[in-house]
Amino acid sequence: MNKTTSIDTPPVGSRVTISDIARIFEVSAMTVSKALNHKPGVSPDKADAIRSYAQSIGYRPSHAARSLLKGRTHTVGICIREGESAKPWGYPWLYGLMREIGLALKPHNMHAQTCLAPGGAAECRQAIEHFMEIGVESLVIGPLGAVEEYHQIADLLQHCPHVLAFDAVDDLPIDHVKWNTYLGGQLLAKHLSELGHKRLMVLGVSQRELDHPSLHVQLNGLRDAAKMLGLRIDSQDMYRLHQVEDIPRILKDVYTKTAPPTAVFCHNDWVAMHAIQSLTAMGLGVPDDVSVTGFDDLPVAQISTPGLTSVGYDLKSYARKIAEIVVDRVTSRFETSGDGVALPSMIRWELEPKLMIRQSTSMPKSKASRRLK
C-alpha cells in the first residue's frame, strides 16, 4: 500500500519526531534518517515518500537529538562580557567582530550563538552556565583583558571543552588573542611628533591604565613613545570619561586656558567624533587649531568631516584567527587527523595595527607659520 495516501496529518502544534515518521512508514528510525539526509540504503520511491511527507508537515530535525546521536552540537558560544560600569561607546567594533566570527565558522559547519553578559561577573557566569547546558563545543569570551577578570570565572571555564579569550591584555592561561594596542599608541605618538606637536591631551583613560604603567595598552604605548620623542603629556592632561556628555565640558575647560595642548589623543573613534563636534562648536578648527586622533579605525572614521586619523586593525583577520583556533581545537577532539601534529597547550596570538592618516591631524599653527616663512 502506498503509505503517502493513507497518512493522517498530525495535530497543529504537535511535534513530529523521526520515530513518529518511522512508525507511519513502518520502517526504522535509521531508515527515515537516511532518507531525510539523502544517504544510501533506502529505495528511491520510499525515500521520496518520506521526504515528501516530512516537508508537508513542516518537519524540522531536533538539534538536540542530532547532537545526541552524533556526540556533537557544532555550536560555538560567544559571551560578550561587560563590566559593572560598562560604557556603550567603549567597544564599538564588537558587532562587526561577532558577525565576522560567525561567517568564518560557517564553512566548517559550525555556528555561533551569542550571549550578552552585562553587569559584571555574576551575569557572565550565568551566560557560561547556559552555554555549558546546551553543550557548546567551544566558548569564545571577551573582552577579557585582565588576569583578575579571568580568575573571577576560572572555576567555570575549566569545565568547558575549550575556551578562547579575545581582547586580552595580560597573558592568560587559556587560548587568547589580542590586538597590539601598545604599538598603536606608539604609532600615533610618532605621527604627531613628526607633525611638530609638543604637548598632547589624552581623552578617555581607565584608572587601571593609569595605575599600571607596565600594561601593554595604547595609553602606555603613547606615553613610552612620547618620552623618547620629547612629547609632553602632563598628568592633568589625561582625562577619564564616565560618559560622552562630559566631553564638551572637559574640552571647554582645557581650550579656554592659555597655551593648551595642540593635539587630542582619543581612546577610540567614537570619543574622537564627539571631541571634533565639541571643538567645532567652540569655534576651533580641526585640524587648523587642534589635531584629533581616534583609535579602532571604524568605518565612520573614513567618511567623517574631517576624515579621522586613527589606528586600525584588520577585523576579518582577527575573526578568522579566532575561528581557526576554535576549529582546530574542536576538530582535534572529534576527528583523528593522522598527521601526528599536536596543537600547543596554549595559543597566544597578536594582531598588528596600521596607522591611517587622514585630515584630522596637521602641523600646529605656529609650526605651519614658521614653515611658510
Instruction: Work out the angle at residue 167's Cα, subtended by the Cα atoms of residues 209 and 200, and round it to the nearest 5 degrees.
Output: 40
Segment 221-251, tens digit of pLDDT: 999 999 999 999 999 999 999 888 999 999 9
Q: Please compute the mean of the pLDDT values over residues 118-124 and round it to a whole number.
A: 86
Q: Which residues does residue 310 pair with via DSSP β-bridges, in sequence order?
A: 356
Over residues 61-96, the pLDDT tens digits come to: 655 555 545 568 899 999 998 866 666 567 788 889
CATH code of the domain made up of 3-61: 1.10.260.40
d(CA 284, CA 364): 13
Alpha-carbon torsion (332, 333, 334, 337), positive or negative: positive
SS3 assignment, position 97:
helix
Taking the alpha carbons of 271, 294, 249, 278 in that order, is the dihedral positive or negative? negative
pTM for the whole thing? Answer: 0.77
Domain 73-179+315-351 matches domain 181-312+355-372 at the CATH topology level: yes
- Residue spans of the domains in the chain: they are 3-61, 73-179+315-351, 181-312+355-372
* 104-111: average pLDDT: 95
How far is Cα 38 from Cα 22, in angstroms, rounded to an integer? 16
Query: Cα 256 vs. chain centroid, distance in angstroms?
Result: 38
**73-179+315-351 is a CATH 3.40.50.2300 domain:** yes
Per CATH, the homologous superfamily of domain 181-312+355-372 is Response regulator (3.40.50.2300)
In this prediction, residue 3 carries a pLDDT of 42
Instruction: Name the most confidently modeled range: 31-40, 127-136, 179-188, 241-250.
Output: 179-188
Range 100-105 average pLDDT: 97
Q: Give residue-wise pLDDT tens across range 278-321.
A: 999 999 999 999 999 999 999 989 999 999 999 999 999 999 99
Distance CA 334, CA 135 (A): 14
